[in-house]
Amino acid sequence: MEIDLHLPACRSLKAKRAVVRPVVEGVRSRFRVSVAEVGDQDLWQRANIGVAVVGATTSHIVDVMDEIERWVWAQPGVEVVSMDRTWMEE
């Protein structure tokens, strides 16, 4: 899953880190998935976050991704520009 965020209140990279870090750490700890900022590191008001979810069944993975999506949408200080899901199968 790739999440593109707009951070309207950020005026520096330091302010951006203060907003993005809780989102990344929250997703990682709450949902037990791999997550990292994967793009737009040099832009103050944009963040691109990548999330990897692995599971035994497609329905479980979809449920986890749906929960992550709802959780990110509810975070203060971020506006979700887009969310894109890419599937890799064995």
User: What's the confidence (pLDDT) of residue 20?
Assistant: 92
Query: Model's pTM, two decimal places?
Result: 0.85
Question: Which band of pLDDT confidence, cut at 50, 70 and 90, is reported for residue 42?
Answer: confident
Calculate the CA 21 to chain-centre distance.
10
Structural tokens at position 66? 């749906």
Mean pLDDT over residues 22-42, rounded? 93
67: three-class secondary structure by DSSP: helix
Question: Which band of pLDDT confidence, cut at 50, 70 and 90, is reported for residue 8?
Answer: very high
Mean pLDDT over residues 16-30, rounded? 94
| Residue type (1 letter), 86 | T
Mean pLDDT over residues 61-71, rounded? 95
| Average pLDDT value over all residues in the chain | 92
